[in-house]
Structure 1
């Protein structure tokens, strides 16, 4: 599975970072950084919660 970020929608609120800190990080300039291309089984639930909790709907998973 691959995380796809719509950077035009992302506002850098950091909700995704709080739900999946091993996968997402908002850098000092407020930009979202995806820290890994491979999602571990341990991180998958947090990534799904981050996608569902994103208020701007900027995240999605692709197979």
Structure 2
């Protein structure tokens, strides 16, 4: 499974990092950092929750 972020939509609000902290983080400049682009299957529920929680709908899951 691969995480895809639409960087044009992302505003770095950090909701995704709350839902999936091993996959997403917010850096010191309030920018989203994807810690793992290729995500193991056991993290799929957390990543899907992060995608649903994103207010900008900037995150999608491929695969």
TM-score (structure 2 length as normaliser): 0.90
4+ residue runs of structure 1 moved beyond 3 angstroms? none
CA contact (8 A) 2:4 2:37 kept: no
Partners of 2:56 and 2:37 in 1: CA distance:
22
User: Structure 1: where are the runs of 5+ without partners?
Assistant: none
Deviation at 1:41, TM superposition (A): 2.9
Three-state SS of the structure 1 residue aligned to 2:33 is: strand
Q: Do residues 30 (structure 1) and 30 (structure 2) align?
A: yes
TM-score (structure 1 length as normaliser): 0.90
Q: RMSD of the alignment, in Å?
A: 1.0
Deviation at 1:39, TM superposition (A): 1.2
User: Structure 2: where are the runs of 5+ without partners?
Assistant: none
Q: Which residue of 1 aligns with 2:3?
A: 3
- Once the two structures are superposed, the pairs formed by residues 34-49 of structure 1 within 5 Å of their partners are 34-49=34-49
